[in-house]
């Protein structure tokens, strides 16, 4: 008898958003909030980019939640393809 082990593969999603965030302080607050809900994700802003990019990398990203989280702080975002 040969035993076969099935290894579950996880798919990492990378979502990139154009945002209206301009200040490092605001970006830090948003990253902190998102880290509470997505503790195993890599989350960062590139405020030097003209689109003020928010990048989130991890399993099962929730774009609606992310948009709502930014909205709580008065910002908006748009997913880039």
The CATH code of the domain that includes 76 is 3.30.70.100
* 2: pLDDT strictly greater than 70: no
In a domain, 23, yes or no: yes
Nearest to 58 by CA among 37, 69, 42: 42
**pTM for the model:** 0.85
Say whether 16 sits in a helix, a strand or coil: strand
| Distance (Å, whole) CA 37 – CA 47 | 22
Question: Which structural domain, as residue segments, surrounds residue 30?
Answer: 13-80
The answer to the question of residue 7 being in a domain is no
pLDDT at 61: 84
Q: Is residue 2 part of a domain?
A: no
50 within some domain? yes
Q: How do residues 43-76 score in pLDDT, each as one tens digit? A: 999 999 999 999 999 998 889 999 999 999 999 9
Q: Is residue 8 part of a domain?
A: no
In a domain, 35, yes or no: yes
Structure tokens, 4: 């076969």
Amino acid 24: pLDDT: 98
pLDDT 10s digits, 4-42: 665 666 789 999 999 999 999 999 999 999 999 999 999
């Amino acid at each position: 008898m040969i035993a076969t082990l099935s290894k579950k593969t996880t798919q990492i999603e990378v979502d990139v958003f154009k945002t209206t965030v301009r200040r490092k302080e605001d970006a830090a607050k948003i990253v902190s909030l998102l880290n509470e809900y997505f503790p195993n994700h890599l989350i960062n802003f590139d405020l030097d980019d003209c689109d003020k990019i928010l990048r989130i990398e991890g399993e099962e990203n929730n774009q609606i939640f992310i948009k709502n989280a930014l909205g709580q702080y008065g910002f908006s975002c748009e997913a880039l393809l």
